[in-house]
C-alpha cells in the first residue's frame, strides 16, 4: 500500500525536482495492480495524490504496473530492466496509455517523481 502523503512530501521537498517541473500543470494516473492514484500537479508540486474511486476520473496519461514490478523498481539498487520506466516498458513490465506527450516532454521529471518512492520504501523495508 502506498504511503501517499509521505510520497507527496518527499516529492515536494525535492527542490530540484519541483524546479524541473515548474511548467507542469497536469493530472496523471499511476496504477498498481487494480488501484489507481490521481496525481494532481501544479507548477511541479504535487497538490494531491488521490485514490481513484470513480472510473470516469482520469489523468491525461496512465502509468500502470503490478506490485512486484514497482517493488523491484523501488529497491535501493533496482535490478536490470527495473531501474528505469523505459526499460520496464520495453520488457512489458509497465504500460503507459493515453496522451503521452506531456510525459515525453517532461520525461526526467516523471521518472524522478516515480523513482522518489524509493526513499520511502528503503526507510521502511518490509520483510
For each successive 10 residues of the chain (127 residues), what is the average pLDDT? Answer: 88 97 98 97 98 90 98 96 95 97 97 95 68
Q: Helices marked H in 13-98 — which ranges?
A: 15-20, 67-73, 85-90
- pLDDT reported for residue 127: 53
User: Environment class of residue 26 by beta-carbon count within 10 Å: exposed (0-12), middle (13-18) or buried (19+)?
Assistant: middle
CATH class, range 4-120: alpha beta
Q: Is 84 helix (H, G, I), strand (E, B) or coil?
A: coil
What DSSP designation does 80 have? Answer: T
Q: What pLDDT score does 1 carry?
A: 56
Amino acid at each position: 500500500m502506498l504511503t501517499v502523503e509521505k510520497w507527496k512530501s518527499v516529492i515536494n521537498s525535492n527542490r530540484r525536482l519541483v524546479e524541473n517541473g515548474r511548467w507542469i500543470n497536469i493530472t496523471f494516473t499511476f496504477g498498481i495492480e487494480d488501484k489507481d492514484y490521481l496525481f494532481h500537479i501544479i507548477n511541479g508540486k504535487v497538490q494531491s495524490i488521490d485514490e481513484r474511486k470513480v472510473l470516469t476520473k482520469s489523468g491525461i496519461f496512465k502509468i500502470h504496473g503490478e506490485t512486484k514490478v514497482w517493488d523491484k523498481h523501488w529497491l535501493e539498487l533496482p535490478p536490470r530492466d527495473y531501474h528505469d520506466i523505459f526499460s520496464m516498458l520495453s520488457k512489458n513490465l509497465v504500460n503507459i496509455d493515453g496522451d503521452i506527450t506531456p510525459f515525453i516532454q517532461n520525461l526526467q521529471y516523471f521518472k524522478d517523481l516515480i523513482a522518489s518512492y524509493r526513499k520511502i520504501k528503503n526507510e521502511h523495508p518490509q520483510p
